[in-house]
Structure 1
Amino acid sequence: MVLALLLSSQVPAWPLLLPFFGLLGLIATGPLLFPHFWEKWYAHVAVGLGLLMLAYYGLAYHDWHTPAETLAEYFSFVVLLTALFVVGGTLYFNLNVPGTPRRNVLLLAGGAVLASVVGTTGASLMLIRPLIRLNDQRIRPYHIVFFIFIVSNAGGLLTPLGDPPLFIGYLRGVPFFWTTKHLLVPWLLSNGLLLLLFWLKDRRNPYPVRLSRNEQRRARSAKGLPLFDFSGRYHWCWLLLVLGAVFLDPARLPWLPYLPVVGLKISFVREIIQLAAAWGCYRTAHHKAVAANHFNFAPILEVAFLFFGIFLTMMPALQTAAHLAADPAVASQLTPASLYWLTGVLSAFLDNAPTYASFLGLSLAGHELNFAHPAEVQQFAEAAATLPLLRAISSGAVLFGALTYIGNGPNFLVRAIAEKEGVPMPSFFGYIGRYALPYLLPVLGIVSGWLLWG
C-alpha cells in the first residue's frame, strides 16, 4: 500500500473514517461497558466492518487494487505474527529464582537487545511468559506495560529487523547498518530512561523475603529444580527460517513466483515458508514447553480478527494522512522535530509502516528525490542535510508504537497473552492515561529534544 498511498489522488470522504474510529472506540470501551457481548461478538464486528469497507471500495469507488494490496499486507502480517507466536509460545525458558527489580531490569534490557536482532514480535513472544513466571505472585499490570514499551517497541530501533517501518526503509534503499549507526542514541535514551522508570516503580512493589544465594540454592535442590530451565534448543533453527523468509520480498527479488491479482504481483513463497516453519515447530515442540506455557491459539486468533477489521477500515485514514502529508503547508514545516511528532502520533493510531513511508516520501520529494529509486533514498539517508529528517521519521514511527495498544502488532498480542495468564491488564484508555502519558510521553519528549539539539 506504500506507493499507492503516495501516488493516490483521491481523498476519502470523512464518513468513511467512521468505521475505523468506531472500531477503535469499541476496542477501547467494549471490554469495560459490555464485556460479555464484546467477548462473544468482537470477531463478527471487526470482520463485518472490514468487509463493509472492502465492498464499498470495490463497488462504489471501483477500486479493487487498494483492498487487494491491503489484504496481501494483512496476510503477510498475520502469517509472520502466527509463525513467531508458535516459535515463541512453544519455547520454554525459566529462571527458578524469585523476581526482583534488578532481575526484571536485566530481563527487559536483554529483551531490548534481542528485539533488534529477532524483531520486536519475536522477542516479545519469547520473553513475555518468562517475565510473568519470574515474578510469579508479584506480577502487576505495569510489568507488562513496560515490557510493551521496551521489548515490543523501543528495543527494535537498532536494525531493520527490529520493526516493520525500518524494514521498509531498508527495502527502499536505506543501508542495513544505517539504523545501528544513527539511531543508537535514541535507542539508548529511550530504553535507558524507561528501564530507570521501571526500576523505580518496581522497587515499590513488595516481593518475597529475600534469601541468600546459598538459601536459594538449597531451596531449589530440595525441589529438584535447576537454576536455569530451558526447553526448545532447536527453536532457533525455526526462528532463523521464519526471519530469513522475511527477506524474500518480490519487490527486490523479481524472480520469485507470484500470483497476478488486480494488477498486483503477490508472492506466496515467503508466507508458505513461514507457515511451514510454524507447523514444523509446533509438531516438534516438547510437550513440557507447550503445557508449561499454557499454549493455545486463542491470543493469535483474537489479534487476527481484530486486525482484519483494523487493516481494512484503516484504508481511508491512511489515505487521508498521506494527503495531509503531501500538503505544501505541511511540507514547509518539515523539521526533524515536526516530522518526529507527526510521524509518531499518526503511528500510534495508524499502521506505522505506511505512515513512515508517507513522510519519507514527502521528505524525499521536498529535496527533489524519488521514493521509488533506492539510490536516491540512500543518498537522502547519508547526506548531512537530510540525515536528521530520516532519523526523526524512523524514531517517531518506532517509539510511538508503544503509545497505544494498536500502535504496533506485538502490543495486542502481549496483552492477550498476559490476560490469558491472569494478569488484569488496563483498558485501551487506561493504558494511555495511566501509563503511556505519564511514563512514556516524557521519554518521547526527551528524545525529541536530542533530535532537535543533538
Structure 2
Amino acid sequence: MKIQKLMKALCSFIVLTLIPFDLLAADFSGDDLSICWGIPFVGILFSIALMPLFLSRLWHYHYGKIITFWTMLFVLFALYSFGLQTTINLTAHAIIAEYIPFILLLLALFTVSGGILIKSDVLSTPKLNVGLLAIGTLLASLMGTTGAAMLMIRPVIRANRQRNYAVHTIVFFIFLVANIGGGLTPLGDPPLFIGFLKGVNFGWTIQHMLLPVLFSSILLLAIYYKIDCYYFRTQYGDSFTLTSAKKASAIKVYGVSNIFLLAIIIACVLMSGIWHSSVNFTVLGTHIALQNLIRDTIFIMITLFSMLITPKQVRAGNEFNWEPIIEVAKLFIGIFITIVPVLAILRAGSHGALAPIISLVTNEQGQPINSMYFWLSGLLSGFLDNAPTYLVFFNLASGDATILMNILEKTLLAISMGSVFMGALSYIGNAPNLMVKSIAIQNKINMPSFFSYMKWSVCILIPVFIIDNLVFFLLF
C-alpha cells in the first residue's frame, strides 16, 4: 500500500507540475527528438527484465501500475513539450490504430485456441517432441505465430508432464512456433503482413522465405533433439524402453467448432489486407478504415461466440484462464505508447538521433549492406515492436515494393528474415513469447527470467543467425 501511495503521489506531483504547460503546442518530429525520449520505453524494458528477478512480489502484484507509471511519464512530458492536442493525437493513434487491432486479434486467437482440446496419453520422447515442434512451426505460417502457439503449447506441455525438466522444450517452442515458423507467409507474422499491405506479393514471400525458414528450423530442431536426448537419458537412463512401455493412444480433439472460428479469423486478416474501402472514420485524429473496423468487430464477435459454444469441460481440460492475455494487454499498451518517439526517431533516418545506427546499412556508394539490414532490423525487432521496425527499414531501403522484390530482393529478404526470426531474442520480441511463458508458469514449469532466457537465445539463436547471414547474404 505504501508503494502504491508513493507512486500516486509522484504521478500527482508530475501532473501538477506539467499541466499548466499543455498549451505549448509544437510539431512532433523525429528529426528534433532527443534520444532521452526513449527513457520511458527503456524503463518498461528494464522493469520487465529486472523486477521479476529482484522484486518479484512487487512485480507480480503491481506490474500494471508500474507500466502505467512509465506510460504516464511519457504522456506528461509530451504534454509539456508538445501540448494537449498533439499528445492526444499521439496516444490515440497508438491505441486506436495499433494497440486495439493488435490486442483484439490476440484475444480472438487466445480464446478460440483455448477452446480446442487435444488429448492423448502419449508420453514425450525426443522424437515426439521434435514432431510436435515441427507441426507447430508449420502451423505458424498458416494461422499466425499467436494462433499456432496458443493451439500447440498445451499439448506440448501435456506430453511433457512427466519430464523432470521441460524448460528447454518451451524455450525452443518460443524460438520455432512463436517466431521463426511464422516466416513463410504474410499470415505468419505481422512484419510480413505489413509488407503484404505495402505491395509485396504473397507468392514472393513464400518463394524467398521458404529456404531460410526451412534451413533455420532444421538447424534448431537438430540442436533441440540433441539437448532433449540428453535430458531424456538423464531422467530415464540409456535404455529407451519407456517408448515401447507406453503406447500412444488415439489423439482426440474436442471443441472442433473452434477450428472453423480460427479459419474465420485468418480470413478476416486476409480480407483487411486485400479489400480497401474508401469509407473512413476519424476518432481523435486517427483514421479508421471500414475494413479494419469490420475485422475488429468480427474478432470481438468470434471471442464471445467461442466462449458461448465451447463446453466448460474443454476449457477446464486446457486449464484455460485469462491471466496470460491480461498480462500481455497490460504490458503492451505501455510498450505501444512509449515506443512512439523511438519509432519516430528511427523514421527520421539520417536526420534523427539514431542516425549513426541507420548509416550502418548503406555503404559509401549508397548501396544497401544486406547483412546490416538483417542484423539491425532483427536486433531492434528483438526489443521493439517488429512490425513498425520492419516498416522503418522497408522505407529506408526504398519503400517501393516493386523495386524491393526485384532489384533489391536480397535487401527485402534481409529485412524480412531479421524482423521475423529475431523476435525470438527476448520475451518482448513477439507477443506470443510472453503468452507462452505465462501458460508454462501456470503449468508449474520454472521458466527462465528475462536475462536467463536471453542466455538461451544468445547461445543458440545467434550462432544460427550467423550461419543464416553467411549462407544467404555473404556466400550467395
Q: TM-score under structure 2 normalisation?
A: 0.85
Q: Are 2:468 and 1:447 aligned?
A: yes
| 1:111 alignment partner AA | G
Aligned 8 A contact 1:141 1:425 in 2: yes
Q: How does 1:378-389 map to 2 (within 5 A)?
A: 379-383=402-406, 385-389=407-411
Q: TM-score under structure 1 normalisation?
A: 0.89
Separation in 2, partners of 1:315, 1:60: 15
Q: How does 1:352-367 map to 2 (within 5 A)?
A: 352-364=386-398
The secondary structure found in structure 1 opposite 2:155 is helix
1:223 matched residue in structure 2: none
1:249 matched residue in structure 2: 272
RMSD of aligned residue pairs (Cα, Å): 2.1
Separation in 2, partners of 1:251, 1:109: 30
The secondary structure found in structure 1 opposite 2:417 is helix
Separation in 1, partners of 2:315, 2:68: 30
Q: Are 2:246 and 1:216 aligned?
A: yes
The secondary structure found in structure 2 opposite 1:258 is strand
1:247: how far off? 3.1
Instruction: Pick one of 215, 225, 232 that aligns with 1:189.
Output: 215
1:108 matched residue in structure 2: 133
Separation in 1, partners of 2:142, 2:270: 14
The secondary structure found in structure 1 opposite 2:119 is strand
Aligned 8 A contact 1:96 1:229 in 2: no
1:255: how far off? 4.0
Identical amino acids, percent of aligned pairs: 35
Q: Are 2:94 and 1:60 aligned?
A: no
Q: Are 2:284 and 1:261 aligned?
A: yes
Q: Are 2:298 and 1:277 aligned?
A: no
Distance 1:380 1:399, change over 3 A: same
Instruction: Pick one of 399, 406, 414 that aligns with 1:392.
Output: 414
Distance 1:257 1:320, change over 3 A: closer
Instruction: Pick one of 377, 383, 387 that aligns with 1:343.
Output: 377
| 2:169 alignment partner AA | H
Aligned 8 A contact 1:78 1:304 in 2: yes
| 2:252 alignment partner AA | D
Q: Deviations over 1:228-286 (max 9, x none)?
A: 12101111111112222223438951245634431523542211100110111111112
Aligned 8 A contact 2:154 2:318 in 1: yes
Separation in 1, partners of 2:287, 2:274: 11
1:88: how far off? 1.1
Q: Deviations over 1:309-366 (max 9, x none)?
A: 11111112222222346658445332111100110111111111111111110110xx
Separation in 2, partners of 1:167, 1:273: 19
1:70 matched residue in structure 2: 94
Separation in 1, partners of 2:435, 2:136: 16
Q: Deviations over 1:392-440 (max 9, x none)?
A: 000000000000111111101111111111110000011002x001111
Instruction: Give the stretch that moved more between structures: 141-150 or 333-342.
Output: 333-342
Aligned 8 A contact 2:30 2:345 in 1: no
The secondary structure found in structure 2 opposite 1:425 is coil
| Stretches of structure 2 lacking an aligned partner (at least 5 in a row) | 1-27
1:213: how far off? 7.6
Distance 1:101 1:331, change over 3 A: closer
- Number of residue pairs matched by the alignment: 428
1:293: how far off? 1.0
The secondary structure found in structure 2 opposite 1:183 is helix
The secondary structure found in structure 2 opposite 1:177 is helix
1:82 matched residue in structure 2: 107
Aligned 8 A contact 1:324 1:330 in 2: no
Separation in 1, partners of 2:79, 2:270: 31
